Structure 1
Amino acid sequence: MKSRIAFAFVAACAAALVAPAVGYAKSRSVTDPDAPRSLPAEGSVSVRWEDPAQFSEIRYSRNRFEARQGDWVNQLATYLRTRAQAQLPAGEKLDVDITDIKRAGDYEPWHSPQLQDTRVIRDLYPPRIDLTIRRTGADGRVIAEGERRLRNLSFMMDARMLNDSDPLRYEKALIDRWLRSELRDKDGA
């Protein structure tokens, strides 16, 4: 009887130790084959993207494993759609294809092994986002289309960013800056 209780106790302890590891076994990566490649259809703004493994953020990273982690492509796409829908004039539609992303900062593993997973933000690593857009009016007429290359070489000079802890703050600021310019009323309103 004691051996069955001891066995049950050991089995329960082993299960308790293994269960959390199962959750960690499948780490979320933007390059997962089952990860989305577009936002669900909703509202007047659609956002799509190709395989993030081809984005500069991953292809040219000094720590590709760490660069793939998380859900940052989906977060940026959701942010873009939310902000664009708030600014897009009524009746207009905006279709956006994200073709490339290079996040602000990079990994500098040569400093020490403890810092190989730390993104270092320096002015020589500015954020970049490339898009292809198509904006149509309520009548279906094309208002604007083509490629957009979002850049801000002075991204570290923005005082508003100093107290912001969002890891995507520089990319989101880049999107906001572009939307203000792209969706500005041509009549100056």
Structure 2
Amino acid sequence: MKLFLMTAIIATTLAIGGCAQKQESTVPESIMTNDGNVNILWQTPNDYSDIEATIGLQSTFEQYLFTQLTDELGKLANKHLANDQQLDLTVTNVDLAGDVQPTFGATTNDIRVISDLYPPKISFDYALTQNGKIIKSGSEKLNNMGFLFGIQPITNDAFPYERDLLLDWFKKTIMPVL
């Protein structure tokens, strides 16, 4: 009888273990976005410091974040880049301004609390090319520790602090060589 129970327990454990196999992730390791002469490769977003969604699906939030930042940089860059110039970025890390805090049942969603303890940060490699020849390239680790100082306009803009990091970098680093 003990042998039968022992065999049944082992068989059940093996059967349950076989049913609980890990599924392969279907999320792409990198995401490419572009706007005119600007291409951005968002490399392994699962490894980024903080791009946590507070509402909806994480994959939808990531696509929205990446598209918004690419569009904002593209608006400025496409005004200044010639038709034969190309700006390519490979983003290796993003840490959105603020920190996601749970609401402990007060609402169904968490909230992102913006505080100077959690400044926006973006790390990337870049290359500015003209007719396939590199004009300027390098690596950047952008952050803005004083992002909350000064007058803060009230807007509905998505990701204003991260957008400002990219636009300020473009104005200071890329525009002088154009």
116, 130, 140: which one pairs with 1:137? 130
Between the aligned partners of 2:57 and 2:47, the Cα distance in structure 1 is: 12
| Structure-to-structure mapping, 1:41-120, within 5 angstroms | 43-58=36-51, 68=58, 70=61, 71-89=64-82, 91-109=84-102, 112-114=104-106, 117-120=110-113
Where structure 1 has 5 or more consecutive residues not aligned to the other structure, the ranges are: 1-30
Cα distance change, pair 132–126 in 1 and its aligned pair in 2 (3 A): same
Residue equivalent to 2:138: 146
Given that 2:40 and 2:88 are in contact with CA atoms closer than 8 Å, whether structure 1 keeps it comes out as: yes
Rounded to whole Å, the distance in 2 between the matches of 1:67 and 1:158 is 34
TM-score for the superposition, normalised by structure 2: 0.69
What stretches of structure 1 move > 3 A for 4+ residues in a row? Answer: 63-67
User: Any idea what the Cα deviations from partners look like across 1:122-169, whole Å, max 9, x if unmatched?
Assistant: 00110011111011234x43221121111111001142x331222311
CA RMSD, Structure 1 to Structure 2 (Å)? 3.1
Q: What TM-score, normalized to structure 1?
A: 0.66
Aligned to 1:33, the other structure's residue is in SS state: coil
Q: Is residue 2:28 matched to residue 1:37?
A: no
Would the alpha carbon gap of residues 183 and 124 (structure 1) be closer, same or farther in structure 2, given more than 3 Å must change?
same
Q: Which amino acid in structure 1 is aligned with residue 100 of structure 2?
A: Y
8 Å contact from structure 2 (residues 86, 128) kept in 1: yes
Q: Is 2:128 the partner of 1:165? A: no
The answer to which structure has the higher helix fraction is: 1
- Gap runs ≥5 in structure 2: 1-24
1:18 aligned residue: none
**Worse-superposed segment, 124-133 or 66-75:** 66-75
How many pairs are equivalent?
150
Structure 2 residue 172 is the aligned partner of structure 1 residue 181: yes
The structure where strand makes up a greater share of residues is 2
